[in-house]
Amino acid sequence: MRSVPAAFAAAALLLSLAAPARAQSHKDTILGVALSPAHMPNFSSADLSAFFDEATVIGNHIVWICEWESMPPFGQIKAVHDMAVADELKFHFYISPIALFGGRKNPAIPKSVGGTSFADPKVREAYKDEVLTLASLNPDYLGLATEVNFLAQNPTEYAAFVSLVGETYEVVKRKYPDQAVTISFQWEVMKSQKQFELLKQFAGIVDVYSFTTYPDAFGVPQKVPGNYYSAIRRYLPTQRVGISEFGWSSAPPSSERDQATWYGRIPELMASVRPEYVSLALLHDVALFTGELERLNHVGIRLIDDEPKPSWMTIVNLPEMH
């Protein structure tokens, strides 16, 4: 449910000014975190450097999700990739071509492309070209969309996009056969709307099925059943699986203590899933979202000013997961 809005792209100009990260050993675990420096979106190069230092303390990878309609320049994406590599962190990158606001039921296509539908040939070619450019970076995982099951409420665009994913996968594999390709699905929506059959439509056109999850609607983490994610393996018994966004907002009526309790349950909740990665939705709280998405500003395990929440030590002290 959380993609990086256009505000980040402007602030990301600082990336080209940031000093190269110092190579250091990351924690040997499948945990990772989304790119979210302190004071985001108005972060400094010092904030960015500190983000990478903190990311190595808690996990083995970072995730960057960018809206296709407002992509930062390729050089800025490469700068983040190179900083991750310098810190021996894996790099996951997702392009998000579905509009974040308005119920996530419409395409979000750059105006420069000159089209508004995934069925438009020029849109399809532009998307495939964009993905191929991103694949040239050789990210550890390349995501072709985020939370694609939201788009199912728009059947015409959804069908066009599924076919576009198939074409794009073929193009990527032809040029970069070892590139791991993924796509994410929103787990709470999939469960509540019983959309599990959608997973079959991506068989053979993704390598890894990713899921995002924000179950704080339960109120308190103790109410989330221990088998909450087990249905993933019921429908994907042998397929590769990852958790690309794992979040719990500390905003009222929840609390920072509830959030820490939730993150402490990660090993228990993931035992039946056996994911390749579990990516925390945010490292720091942010000042990005408004309206219906405002609670997402408070999903970080550190405050926007870099002060740790209780969740920080909970994550730092989790046993390694492999």
Q: What is the pLDDT of residue 101?
A: 79
Beta 278-280 vs 90-96: how paired, if at all? unpaired
Q: Is the pLDDT of residue 13 over 50?
A: no
Read off the pLDDT band of 38 (50, 70, 90).
very high
3-class DSSP assignment, residue 209: strand
Give the integer Cα–Cα distance in Å for 259 and 219: 10
pLDDT confidence of 23, banded at 50, 70, 90? low
Domains and CATH numbers, the chain: 6-316 (3.20.20.80)
What global pTM score does this model have?
0.93
Q: Is 13 exposed, middle or buried (0-12, 13-18, 19+ CB in 10 A)?
A: exposed
What pLDDT is recorded for position 1?
46
- β-strands 278-280, 31-34: how paired? parallel
What pLDDT, on a 0 to 100 scale, did the predictor assign at position 25? 65
pLDDT at 19: 44
- 91-111 pLDDT, tens digit each: 999 999 999 877 889 999 999
Q: For 131-142, how does the pLDDT look when each residue is reduced to its tens digit (9 = 90+)?
A: 999 999 999 999
Mean pLDDT of 251-267: 97
| Other beta carbons within 10 Å of 252 | 8
Structure tokens at 303: 């405050």
Longest dimension (CA), the chain: 50
pLDDT tens digit string along 198-221? 999 999 999 999 999 999 889 999
Percent of the chain with pLDDT over 90: 87
